[in-house]
Structure formats: C-alpha cells, structure tokens
Amino acid sequence: MWRYSDTELTTSFLGFYADFLLLTYLWVSSWAAVLLIDFFILCRGTCVVDYLTRGRGGLYWYHSGFF
C-alpha cells in the first residue's frame, strides 16, 4: 500500500503500520457489528452450544438461506 503525502511517497514502516491499523480498525468494527446484530437481534441472545459442532441435522446447519 502506497500513500501520498503532499509531494513524497510514504514507504516507511510507520506509514505501512498506520495503514495496517486503519484497515484492521475498519474491518474489525464491521465484523463485530455483524456478529452483535446476529446474536442480540436475530437470535435474541440465545445460543445452543451443543448444536454448534453437530454438523448435519443441527440447528445451525444451512437451511436454504433467508427465504
């Protein structure tokens, strides 16, 4: 990832690290929002732990999507 600052190209470790932190910050917050909405709104805070590893026939097995 290359960043331009005024007239020079930033190739320093600090520039790359800042880009990495920004990307991580944006990705993790989006991922956490999806998980929290799924757990608290769609599942209403309940989770059956035994069915998480059951596989076929379990409560969380694929059921043809939303529709």
Share of the chain above pLDDT 90, in %: 7
pTM: 0.50
* 36 Rama sector, left if φ>0, alpha if ψ -120 to 50, beta otherwise: alpha
Domain ranges of the chain: 3-52
Above 90 in pLDDT, residue 33?
A: yes
- What per-residue confidence (pLDDT) applies to 32? 92
User: Using one digit for the tens of pLDDT, what is the confidence trace for 35-62?
Assistant: 888 888 877 877 777 777 777 777 777 7
β-pair partners for 19: none
d(CA 55, CA 13): 44
Percent of the chain with pLDDT over 70: 76
